Structure 1
Amino acid sequence: MQETIKVKIDDLIFDCRTDGDKENELVIFLHGWPETSYMWKKLMSHFSEKGFYCVAPNLRGYSKDACPKGKKHYSLDKLAKDILGISKFLNTQKFHLVGHDWGAIIGWKIVHDYQDRILSWTGISVPHYQAFGKAIVADTEQRKMSQYVKNFQLPYLPEEGIRKDDFKILRKLWKNSEPSEIDDYLKVFRNPKQLTASINYYRSNYTLLKKAAKDTILGDINVPTLFIWGKKDIAIGSYAVNESHQYMKNDYEFIELDSGHWLIQTKYHELENAITKHVLKYQSVT
């Protein structure tokens, strides 16, 4: 049975959706933008039935009581440390990690910086962000795809555009989502403070991503990795994906699907099968 628990880390309180027996091996699921932990509900039910304890936080800014003001509070360092704080709260040293979109970006940071904590890693849609950052600068296609990221650097205007016509822009992105899922998302994005916090992910880390074209912002990945990407993705092109493979120094599987960015909604069964196989392969011996 799924329930939401409160996880306090310093002055922040995270809303974390959970499923399964907390004595079982932990899988943490990280959502992206513009979604919430609700996106993982079906997959969490599946993994809890497989004997895992599943936890999906509403990330910093998406949890109402973990929503500090100012873009400085949304750096990748802080976003990654939040997840380590949640694992500490759960008294869990090692865990499996699954992330989509911004959840994937945060995940790459975690599995690089805290590799001894990771049993397996599944990134969805967004590749290693050294490769992604390089692509934003070096690849014409990716620059066009990421123009919205540049636009998000402006104050106020992005929020106004997103709210226009009852979140028409976001509703287009959610066309494959269930009504109950959309209702959950809107609980976050209708709150002005939380909407701005979600855009601050882009504002806080844009300079870092562009720096990747000349400098190393993230190194090799030394944990078992599964990366899944849809070749019709409107936000992530093939240049970034192909550049990403070189950083994988442990067991690595890449799956390309005939779909777009919202894979959990459009290719659920393919994701369920691939992630289950990957996680079970690296399940720790008990």
Structure 2
Amino acid sequence: MKQVELVNGDLRFPALLTGDGEPVLLLHGFPDTHENWADIMQRLAGAGYTAVAPALRGYAPSCQPGSGDYALTAALEDLMAFTDQLGGRVHLIGHDWGAVLGYLACARYPETFSSFSALAIPPLKRLPQALLRVPEQLGLSAYIPFFQLPLAAETWLNRNDLDGVATLWRRWSPGWEAGRYLEQAKHTLAQPGVLSAALGWYRHLPRLWRRDLRQASKTLLGETRVPTQVLLGESDGCMSPRLLDHTIYPSDFPEGLHVKTLADAGHFLHLQQPDAVAALLVEHIRKEENKTVDS
């Protein structure tokens, strides 16, 4: 496993890299770290792929912009710079915020992505309507407006050696002992400026007076012309698996859509069930490669 950097302008993003073959880009979520992809990356490398997992914008001091811009559209610019550095076309895997970013990227730039796997986040196009039918999600998502409050979120998350972060992990993957994964996430979030930067992703959500964010919202209402796989844990305490009943419309994914829920897994399903998740990821990627060869 190599420590490398990806670059977008003056921002330098620490990343892990391993393997040799078609590039697979893995995007982490909150409150997490790119380093927690290592187990999945080793399995992807063993299957013949080059796996690259960068820190997202703000998750290291070297990739915190002076402008303080943590809008999804700014992260999209980072992602497209990454794909250029990896040769221009990649398989994309995203968890949590990484999956949200992946949905936007695949909707806007489908020619860049050979396949997409979204972990722990259902399709976004019909999510607003789904909330009306899955009201418990409003309770599960109550952390979002809280995170948008100045200072209060940092205070709660930081208390007692980032115990607030540990609380989220326990709620979102109940009954699981996160061990070293949680410690690695806390180590990343404890770096200078990282916790506030990570919360900046949430604080930019309501800024729809920005033209780029309004356009991004419109983009997510269109079709996703990338072969897509959606994986959720059956005990996810952040995103209710019941949302799948109201967000899965194959017509929204004309290049194909595969959906799977995993038993004995919550929000951090890729860490709880790395063998099962890696097998599904490899199967999805290979299926799309075989289609290319056959055509």
TM score, norm. by length of structure 2: 0.86
Report the Cα distance in structure 2 between the residues aligned to 1:223 and 1:132, rounded to whole angstroms: 19
Q: Secondary structure of the equivalent of 1:242?
A: helix
Determine which of 35, 41, 46 is the counterpart of 2:43. Answer: 46
In the alignment, residue 252 of structure 1 is paired with which amino acid? L
Task: Report what 1:81 is aligned to.
Answer: 77
Determine which of 160, 167, 186 is the counterpart of 1:165. Answer: 160
Determine which of 57, 60, 65 is the counterpart of 1:63. Answer: 60
Report the Cα distance in structure 2 between the residues aligned to 1:164 and 1:8, rounded to whole angstroms: 33
* Identical pairs, percent: 25
Determine which of 93, 97, 101 is the counterpart of 1:98. Answer: 93
Report the Cα distance in structure 2 between the residues aligned to 1:15 and 1:150, rounded to whole angstroms: 29
Q: Give 1:242 shift.
A: 2.8
1:150 aligns with 2:145: yes
Report the Cα distance in structure 2 between the residues aligned to 1:84 and 1:134, rounded to whole angstroms: 30
Task: Report what 1:27 is aligned to.
Answer: 24
Report the Cα distance in structure 2 between the residues aligned to 1:75 and 1:87, rounded to whole angstroms: 19
**Is the contact between residue 176 and residue 266 of structure 1 (CA under 8 Å) also seen in structure 2?**
no
Report the Cα distance in structure 1 between the residues aligned to 2:271 and 2:13, rounded to whole angstroms: 25
Task: Report what 2:173 is aligned to.
Answer: none
| CA root-mean-square deviation | 2.3
Please give the per-residue CA displacement for 1:24-70, whole angstroms capped at 9, x wherever unaligned. 21000000001111121011111112211110001101122011256
Q: Secondary structure of the equivalent of 2:248?
A: helix
Q: Secondary structure of the equivalent of 2:14?
A: strand
Structure 2 unaligned regions, length at least 5? 171-175
Report the Cα distance in structure 2 between the residues aligned to 1:108 and 1:183, rounded to whole angstroms: 28
Q: Give 1:134 shift.
A: 4.2
1:8 aligns with 2:7: yes
Task: Report what 1:276 is aligned to.
Answer: 282
**Is the contact between residue 120 and residue 267 of structure 2 (CA under 8 Å) also seen in structure 1?**
yes
Determine which of 90, 112, 136 is the counterpart of 1:141. Answer: 136
In the alignment, residue 278 of structure 2 is paired with which amino acid? E
Please give the per-residue CA displacement for 1:79-112, whole angstroms capped at 9, x wherever unaligned. 122111012123x121100011011001101111
Q: Cα distance 1:135–1:146, how it changes in 2: closer, same or farther (>3 A)?
A: farther
Out of 248-257 and 29-38, give the one that drifted further.
248-257
Determine which of 228, 234, 240 is the counterpart of 1:231. Answer: 234
Q: Cα distance 1:110–1:37, how it changes in 2: closer, same or farther (>3 A)?
A: same
Q: Give 1:141 shift.
A: 1.3
Q: Cα distance 1:166–1:195, how it changes in 2: closer, same or farther (>3 A)?
A: same
Task: Report what 1:190 is aligned to.
Answer: 190
Q: Cα distance 1:93–1:60, how it changes in 2: closer, same or farther (>3 A)?
A: same
Please give the per-residue CA displacement for 1:254-286, whole angstroms capped at 9, x wherever unaligned. 001223111012222221111111011112549
**Is the contact between residue 30 and residue 99 of structure 1 (CA under 8 Å) also seen in structure 2?**
yes
Report the Cα distance in structure 1 between the residues aligned to 2:183 and 2:227, rounded to whole angstroms: 35
Q: Cα distance 1:132–1:70, how it changes in 2: closer, same or farther (>3 A)?
A: farther
- Equivalenced residues, count: 276
